[in-house]
């Protein structure tokens, strides 16, 4: 780092990103993936730029074995990791599943803490060291790169941990993984463990070190950074932090912490950040794991702001309240959320996105009405906002190109879903009805609307959120479309979620048309 605090690329140390989304991540309850889903996600993770991929646990099932084998064959640009327990059957399965990989390693694990030895393995320390030696020596006959994990390292007696690491290094292990298996460690403790093992184990300075942290106390990323500062050169992560219990170190959080604080950490990764958001959404959908609103980097609120002070600062210069650029992460720019804390600048900005310009008097009138509505509901959606504008100041002028007049859907278990909509073209002053079918009610509705609005817009994404509970519950729909390589997002809220989605889709299309 030079005197101005800038990054000197010559001094940047490369951190390998070891992705275990398809192995440890899939072990989260309910996260099981099909063969096809694994293949799609594996290709996406390779596109993201992970250095090492652990695509599964080959011994666990025929399907898992087949997926690891096929990924090994297709993804020649990524190092593939065959995972198993420190037993011959697991190692044999991992060796066979990864035999077609261009680059591969065997990753075996064996418990090291007295808690695990006494209550799970029911073996002595000496027996465990003998097992570790035997299995590393066995695998070394077939592969050069062997990663050995001392499971529950952070609750292991440090002297025994050093002894165990020495033993596997002597037999040919090339990567030592010291995991925080139960998310127990504090960052200072975790970093010190790495330093002591590196310094005290014979041969400890001849191998690579890896960190694998779980998030039970919310410290997985912090502990991983502590490991980096203590000399680890590989971090094991999952997309969205998925994994057993509360999950693993989150790929996107770790990578962006490194990228954002590169000058302080003096390390970097090979991740292509523009693919982070897309990969995150794909993993979320495939595993049916929703992403928390306040999830760092990829959560809905990560780059959205309701506070008027924040909105005003952001509209003047992004860096006032954002330390990362969402567009560099592949995240659509939608930083303004309109609610009771929003100010005039944000309101004017959002209205302008629909091609509507208000003078000061009109803005003040709309703002007063907006505040009344915002006090009654959590957020003011696009369709409601345009309704306010129309009622308040532009009664004789269309503020949206198209509006939904009527919608009907027929759904049933034994028939295709059929929908009909009536759309008003505000500029032409004409109403027309359209009908369509689909596998689901929303698909049928979208097919109708696409006939009505002559914009070659691709339906990109739909988010549906419950805003309350009980019989009076409302749902919020957020629809993203792409048109001419630009992304547009529309929002709506209604008790009928299909109607809300239809209105949100029309809102997004209106932005594309008005632009």
- Give 206-241 pLDDT, tens digit per residue: 999 999 999 999 999 999 999 999 999 999 999 999
Q: Do the domain assignments include residue 295?
A: no
pLDDT at 457: 76
Query: What residues are paired with 479 via a beta bridge?
Result: 462, 490
Structural domain includes residue 150: yes
Residue bearing the bigger pLDDT, 453 or 51: 51
Where residue 96 sits, what CATH number does that domain have?
A: 3.20.20.70
Residue 345, domain CATH: 1.10.238
Cβ(422)–Cβ(432) under 8 Å?
A: yes
| Whole-number Å distance between alpha carbons of 508 and 15 | 40
Q: Is residue 1 part of a domain?
A: no
Residues 368 and 429 reside in one and the same domain: no
SS3 214: strand
The strand ranges marked E within 180-247 are 208-212, 234-237
Tell me what pLDDT residue 2 has: 43
Lowest-pLDDT choice from 5-14, 200-209, 273-282, 363-372? 5-14
Q: What is the pTM of this model?
A: 0.81
**Residue 463 forms beta bridges with which residues?**
478
Q: Which of 50-59, 143-152, 260-269, 378-387 has the lowest mean pLDDT?
A: 378-387
Confidence of residue 310 (pLDDT cuts 50, 70, 90): low
Is 236 found in the same domain as 362? no
Least confident among 206-210, 309-313, 382-386: 309-313
Q: Are residues 371 and 458 in the same domain?
A: no
31-59 mean pLDDT: 97
Q: What is the mean pLDDT of residues 178-203?
A: 98
64 and 200 co-located in one domain = yes
Average pLDDT over residues 423-450: 90
- Indicate whether 259 and 321 sit together in one domain: no
Residue 282: pLDDT over 50: yes
Instruction: Give the model's confidence band at 6: pLDDT under 50 very low, under 70 low, under 90 confident, else very high.
Output: low
Last residue of a domain, one of 330, 365, 392: 392
Give me the sign of the Cα torsion angle 493, 498, 499, 502.
Answer: positive
Checking if the pLDDT of 27 tops 60, the result is yes
Rounded CA separation 24/269 (Å): 21
Please state which of the ranges 59-68, 111-120, 285-294, 325-334 shows the lowest mean pLDDT: 325-334
Task: Check whether residue 169 and residue 274 sit in a common domain.
Answer: yes
Number of domains in the chain: 3
More confident site: 280 or 348: 280
Hey, CA dihedral for 352, 354, 355, 360, is it positive or negative? negative
Residue 333: pLDDT over 70: no
CA 309 to mean position of chain CA atoms: 28
DSSP H/E element including 148: strand 146-151
| pLDDT at residue 306 in the model | 55
One domain for residues 383 and 414:
no
DSSP 83-127: EEESSHHHHHHHHHHTTT-SSEEEEEEEE-SHHHIIIII---HHH
**Does residue 471 surpass a pLDDT of 70?**
no
Residue-number span of the structural domain to which 434 is assigned: 402-514
pLDDT digits (tens, 9 = 90+) for 61-87: 999 999 999 999 999 999 999 999 999
Task: Tell me which range, 152-166, 313-327, 396-410, 415-429, is most confidently predicted by mean pLDDT.
Answer: 152-166
Question: What share of the chain in percent tops pLDDT 90?
Answer: 60
> Could you tell me the two tokens for 180?
């925080």
302: in domain: no
In the predicted model, is pLDDT for residue 1 greater than 50?
A: no
Q: Is residue 298 part of a domain?
A: no
Is residue 24 one of the residues assigned to a domain?
yes
Domain closes at, from 360, 392, 424 = 392
Check pLDDT > 70 for residue 318. Answer: no
Average pLDDT of the chain, as a whole number: 89
Q: Are residues 178 and 71 in the same domain?
A: yes
Q: Kindly tell me if the per-residue pLDDT of 511 is higher than 70.
A: yes
pLDDT recorded at residue 493: 83
Is the pLDDT at 368 greater than 50? The verdict is yes
Place of tokens 């250095």: 51
Q: What's the confidence (pLDDT) of residue 89?
A: 98
Query: 378 pLDDT exceeds 80?
Result: no
How many angstroms separate the CA atoms of 294 and 305, rounded?
A: 12
CA distance 177 to 308: 47
Are 333 and 186 members of one domain? no
Residue 3: per-residue pLDDT: 38
Residue 371 shares a structural domain with residue 429: no
> What value does the mean pLDDT take over residues 360-387?
81
Query: Alpha-carbon distance 122 to 38, whole Å?
Result: 35
Window from 123-132, 274-283, 506-515 with minimum mean pLDDT: 506-515
- Asked if 176 and 316 sit in the same domain, the reply is no
Q: To the nearest 5 percent, what fractions of the chain are helix, strand and coil?
A: 45, 20, 35
Longest dimension (CA), the chain: 87
Rounded distance between C-alpha atoms, residue 210 and residue 223, angstroms: 12
The secondary structure of 424-468, three-state, reads EECCCCEEEEEEEEECCHHHHHHHHHHHHCCCCCEEEEEEEEECC
Cβ(114)–Cβ(122) under 8 Å?
Answer: no
Please tell me whether residues 158 and 42 are part of one structural domain: yes
The per-residue pLDDT for 64 is 96
Scan for tokens 């011994």, then name that residue: 59
Q: Which residues pair with 491 in a beta bridge?
A: 478
Q: Of 99, 115, 105, 114, which Cα lies nearest the Cα of 80?
A: 105
Residue 395 confidence (pLDDT) above 60 = no
Whole-number pLDDT of residue 35 = 96
Find which of 359-373, 413-427, 494-508 is predicted with most confidence, using mean pLDDT.
494-508
Measured distance CA(301)–CA(399) in Å, rounded: 28
HSE, CB side, 13 Å, CA atoms: give it for residue 461. 15
pLDDT tens digit sequence for 128-160: 999 999 999 999 999 999 999 999 999 999 999
CATH (domain of 466): 3.30.160.270
CA 162 to chain centre: 36
**Non-local CB neighbours of 513 within 8 Å, separated by 6+ positions:** 401, 402, 453, 455
Q: How far is Cα 205 from Cα 227, in angstroms, rounded to an integer?
A: 15
CA 98 to chain centre: 27
CA neighbor of 172 nearest in space, from 207, 209, 198: 207
Q: Measuring CA to CA, how many Å separate 345 from each of 294, 351, 355, 514?
A: 24, 10, 16, 20
* Lowest mean pLDDT across 58-72, 277-291, 334-348, 385-399: 385-399
Taking phi over 0 as left and psi of -120 to 50 as alpha, with beta for the rest, 418 belongs to beta
Q: Examine residue 296 and state whether it is found in any structural domain, yes or no.
A: no
Mean per-residue pLDDT, 491-513: 88
Q: Which residue has the higher pLDDT, 429 or 34?
A: 34
Is residue 357's pLDDT more than 90? no
Query: Does 326 fall in a domain?
Result: yes
d(CA 111, CA 149): 8
């Amino acid at each position: 780092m030079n005197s101005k605090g800038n990054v000197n690329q010559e001094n940047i140390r490369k951190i390998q990103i070891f992705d275990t989304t398809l192995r440890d991540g899939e072990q989260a309850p309910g996260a099981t993936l099909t063969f096809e889903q694994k293949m799609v996600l594996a290709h996406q993770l390779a596109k993201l730029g992970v250095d090492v991929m652990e695509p599964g646990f080959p011994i666990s099932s025929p399907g898992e074995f087949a997926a690891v084998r096929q990924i090994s064959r297709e993804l020649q640009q990524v190092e593939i990791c065959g995972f198993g327990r420190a037993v011959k059957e697991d190692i044999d399965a991992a060796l066979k599943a990864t035999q077609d990989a261009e680059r591969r390693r065997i990753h075996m694990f064996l418990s090291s803490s007295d808690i695990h030895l006494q209550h799970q393995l029911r073996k002595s320390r000496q027996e465990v060291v003998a097992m570790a030696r035997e299995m590393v020596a066995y695998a070394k006959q077939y592969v050069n790169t062997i990663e050995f994990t001392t499971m529950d390292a952070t609750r292991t007696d440090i002297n025994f941990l050093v002894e165990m690491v020495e033993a596997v290094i002597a037999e040919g292990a090339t990567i030592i993984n010291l995991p925080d298996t139960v998310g127990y460690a504090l960052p200072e403790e975790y970093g010190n463990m790495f330093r002591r093992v590196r310094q005290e184990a014979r041969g400890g300075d001849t191998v690579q070190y890896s960190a694998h942290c779980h998030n039970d106390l919310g410290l997985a990323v912090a502990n991983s950074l502590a490991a980096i500062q203590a000399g680890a050169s590989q971090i094991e992560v999952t997309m969205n932090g998925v994994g057993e219990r509360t999950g693993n170190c989150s790929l996107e959080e770790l990578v962006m912490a490194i990228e954002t604080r590169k000058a302080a950490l003096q390390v970097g990764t090979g991740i292509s950040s523009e693919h982070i958001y897309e990969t995150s959404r794909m993993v979320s959908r495939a595993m049916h794991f929703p992403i928390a609103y306040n999830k760092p980097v990829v959560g809905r609120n990560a780059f959205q702001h309701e506070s008027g002070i924040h909105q005003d600062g952001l509209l003047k210069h992004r860096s006032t309240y954002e330390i990362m650029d969402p567009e560099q992460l592949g995240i659509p720019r939608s930083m303004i959320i309109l609610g009771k804390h929003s100010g005039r600048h944000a309101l004017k900005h959002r209205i302008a996105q629909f091609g509507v310009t208000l003078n000061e008097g009109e803005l003040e009138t709309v703002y007063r009405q907006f505040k009344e509505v915002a006090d009654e509901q959590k957020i003011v959606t696009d369709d409601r906002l345009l309704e306010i504008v129309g009622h308040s100041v532009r009664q004789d002028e269309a503020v949206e190109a198209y509006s939904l007049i009527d919608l009907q859907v027929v759904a049933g278990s034994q028939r295709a879903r059929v929908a009909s909509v009536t759309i008003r073209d505000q500029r032409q002053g004409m109403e027309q009805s359209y009908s369509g079918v689909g596998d689901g009610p929303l698909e049928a509705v979208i097919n109708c609307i696409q006939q009505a609005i002559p914009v070659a817009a691709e339906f990109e994404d739909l988010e549906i959120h419950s805003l309350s509970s009980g019989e009076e519950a409302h749902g919020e729909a957020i629809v993203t479309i792409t048109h001419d390589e630009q992304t547009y997002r529309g929002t709506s809220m209604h008790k009928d979620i299909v109607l809300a989605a239809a209105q949100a889709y029309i809102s997004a299309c209106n932005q594309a048309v008005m632009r």
